[in-house]
Amino acid sequence: MSDDIAAGERVLCHIEDIPDGEAKGFPPAPGAFTGLFAIRRGRQVWVYVNSCPHIGLPLEPVPDRFLDAKRERIICSAHGARFRIEDGLCLSGPCYNEYLEAVPARVEPDGRVVVPEDAGL
């Protein structure tokens, strides 16, 4: 682990592992209950816990399918709820006005995406 990764953090992936304009899911870390997913736009990455606020189901019907056809909103496959990418706010569906659980993330200069070690617990 290099000096720029603090205690209590972990590397989720490299930014290039997430296609630009797309999303990618990640299994739970050791000891975690729920996986994460990340959305990339250029050098910006948003990370959320992969759980719909309505009843806690994972959002995607098949691996890495978190976004609508236009790649503008996050979608819950179970209920059709639609969430804003930038902050996880539900814009329509049974969990209207609730939020996905955001995970603090940063992209290191070398492209590593870093999140808290306990994300998803």
Domain ranges across the chain: 9-116
Say if CB 102 and CB 7 are below 8 A apart. Answer: no
CA gap 50, 70 in Å, rounded:
20
CA gap 75, 84 in Å, rounded:
9
On the question of pLDDT at 3 being above 60, the answer is no
Sheet holding 90-92, edge to edge: 73-75, 82-84, 90-92
Question: In the structure, what pLDDT confidence band is assigned to residue 31 with cuts at 50, 70 and 90?
Answer: confident
Output the pLDDT for position 1: 43
On the question of pLDDT at 5 being above 80, the answer is yes
User: At a CB cut-off of 8 Å and minimum separation 6, what does 53 contact?
Assistant: 90, 95, 98, 99, 100, 101
Output the pLDDT for position 29: 81
Residue scoring higher pLDDT (30 or 17): 17
Neighbours of 17 (CB within 10 A): 13
Say if CB 12 and CB 110 are below 8 A apart. Answer: no
Q: What is the mean pLDDT of residues 29-44?
A: 91
Overall size of the chain counted in residues: 121
The least confident of 3-7, 46-50, 57-61, 108-112 is 3-7
Among the listed residues 22, 29, 21, the one whose alpha carbon sits nearest the alpha carbon of residue 114: 29
pLDDT in tens, 39-95: 999 999 999 999 999 988 899 988 999 999 999 999 999 889 999 999 999 999 999
Q: Which fold has domain 9-116?
A: Rieske Iron-sulfur Protein (2.102.10)
